[in-house]
Amino acid sequence: MNAKRLDGRVAVVTGASRGIGRAIAELFAHEGAKTVINYLTSEKNALAVVDRIQNKGGEATCVKADVSKFKDVKYMIETTLKEYKRIDILVNNAGILITEDVLETSEDDWDRTIDINLKGAYLCSKAVAPIMLKQKKGKIINMSSNSGLYHPSSMRFTEYVVSKAGMNGLTKALALRLGPHITVNAICPGWIKTEMIEDTDPEVERKILEETALKRYGTPDEIAASALFLASDDADFITGELLIVAGGRGMH
């Protein structure tokens, strides 16, 4: 009964130096996975995650890579294989949010959001798929958003919404293409209190809580628990699904 759910597996978690990615990486490591902490801007934060994992008896390393650039993704995957010989789980978590109205954002804002949030998931998935197919087993988990499901109150930031709606389509398309050996699913979090949204207008927050059945924010740890389920053997017959973890926000 004490067996860890991800014993012997290798997991790559993008954008894992903070927030939801950090929570997922630490939980996966706690459950026995050798975990690769991907980061782009903060080596200090990434190393801190590695230290926390190692101090608790887990195994982890960190790799700097811009997921929107193929050469960086290739380097990250090659580094992982050199270190751990296989890849069993990919969590496409890296993402950004531009908090401006569409009439105020720029072409660069659009390109950057789509490149990191959507193209990044595409490139990382393409890079690990041949490895997982050769192994005849693998799990890809995309971190989408409730915003990508067309709930009116969630659709404030156009570039972000489009990137997450695209990720939902990518999830289903890859699930069809990569079965039967690889499962591909997405998690659609609701309002999760992380560094990404720490500057949100208090009035906006009040309205969001009003329309959330559980009347509170979610936590990174709660999203990590959902990711653990999808990464585990318990979810072997689940693919192409969008798992909403939103406290009852935007039900329809």
Residues 228/141, Cβ–Cβ less than 8 Å: no
Q: Find the catalytic residue in 39, 84, 122, 160.
A: 160
Q: Which residues pair with 39 in a beta bridge?
A: 64
Phi, psi of 99 (to 5 degrees): -95, 55
63/96 Cα distance (integer angstroms): 19
Three-class SS of the chain = CCCCCCCCCEEEECCCCCHHHHHHHHHHHHCCCEEEEEECCCHHHHHHHHHHHHHCCCCEEEEECCCCCHHHHHHHHHHHHHHHCCCCEEEECCCCCCCCCCCCCCHHHHHHHHHHHHHHHHHHHHHHHHHHHHHCCEEEEEECCHHHHCCHHHCCCHHHHHHHHHHHHHHHHHHHHHCCCEEEEEEEECCECCHHHCCCCHHHHHHHHHCCCCCCCECHHHHHHHHHHHHCHHHCCCCCCEEEECCCCCCC
Has 217 been annotated as catalytic? Answer: no
Indicate which residues carry an active-site annotation.
Answer: 160
